[in-house]
């Protein structure tokens, strides 16, 4: 079978273009992989909100928390790190940092975390209010779960935490 000059020229042109086409495909593939990696890293940075229920305890609003502060009828626990506590906290709150190592999920593995239950009041019926930064602040949720499991009967979790406390211009201490 005889090939025409134009067919041969076309084949030669394609053969010379293959390395360039391969480079473009490789570059696009590499960019797609990089975008996927960045997306995965960004997703890893997203904090999931804490649960909206606390078995054995109660979730309270910042307004309810403020009423407890005004009555001086609860022991407030700020679970944030000491630096953030020093920048401002609920009046009368106690700094008891929660050191997490477990996943931020219900049913977390508490053995991977650290929280000093000995710093809580001895009376198991004392009203406790746990808070941290806000609805993605797992430290306060986890500490509240620890308190419930330790037998405390009046455990409150101020889910919207410090961020909403400040947004409402409620009083603060430094």
Asked whether 62 and 160 are in contact (CB, 8 A), the reply is: yes
98 in the same domain as 156: yes
Q: Does one domain contain both 96 and 138?
A: yes
- Domain assignment present for residue 51? The answer is no
> Which of 18-27, 28-37, 44-53 is predicted with the least confidence, judged by mean pLDDT?
28-37
Per the structure, how many domains does the chain have?
Answer: 2
Say which residue the tokens 């806000």 belong to.
134
Domain of residue 27 covers 1-46
Is residue 126 exposed (0-12), middle (13-18) or buried (19+ Cβ within 10 Å)?
middle
Better-predicted residue by pLDDT, 37 or 109 = 109
pLDDT digits (tens, 9 = 90+) for 37-68: 555 444 445 778 999 999 999 999 999 999 99
Same domain (yes/no): 38, 105? no
Residue percentage of the chain with pLDDT more than 70: 74
Q: What is the pLDDT of residues 128-138, one digit of tens each?
A: 999 999 999 99
Q: Which residues contact 36 (CB under 8 A, 6 or more apart)?
A: none
Helix (H) or strand (E) holding 131: strand 128-131
Instruction: Show the beta-strand stretches assigned E in 12-110.
Output: 58-60, 75-78, 94-95
Angle (CA) 162 166 172, round 5°: 85
Same-domain pairing of 1 and 23: yes
**Distance from C-alpha of 159 to C-alpha of 130, rounded to nearest angstrom:** 8
Map tokens 């406390």 to a residue: 165
73 lies in the same domain as 95: yes
The pTM assigned to this predicted structure is 0.75
Torsion sign, CA atoms 77, 78, 83, 89: negative
């Amino acid at each position: 079978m005889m090939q025409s000059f134009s067919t041969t020229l076309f084949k030669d042109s394609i053969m010379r273009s293959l390395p360039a086409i391969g480079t473009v495909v490789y570059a696009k593939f590499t960019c797609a992989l990089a975008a996927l990696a960045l997306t995965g890293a960004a997703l890893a940075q997203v904090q999931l909100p804490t649960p909206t229920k606390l078995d054995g305890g109660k979730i309270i609003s910042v307004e309810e928390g403020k009423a407890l502060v005004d009555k001086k009828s609860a022991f407030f626990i700020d679970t944030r790190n000491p630096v953030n506590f020093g920048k401002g906290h609920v009046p009368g709150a106690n700094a008891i940092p929660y050191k997490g190592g477990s996943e931020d999920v219900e049913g977390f593995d508490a053995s991977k975390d650290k929280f000093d239950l000995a710093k809580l009041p001895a009376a198991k019926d004392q009203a406790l209010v746990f808070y941290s930064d806000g609805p993605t602040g797992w430290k306060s949720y986890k500490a509240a779960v620890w308190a419930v499991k330790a037998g405390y009967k009046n455990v409150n979790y101020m889910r919207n935490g410090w961020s909403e406390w400040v947004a409402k211009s409620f009083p603060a201490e430094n």
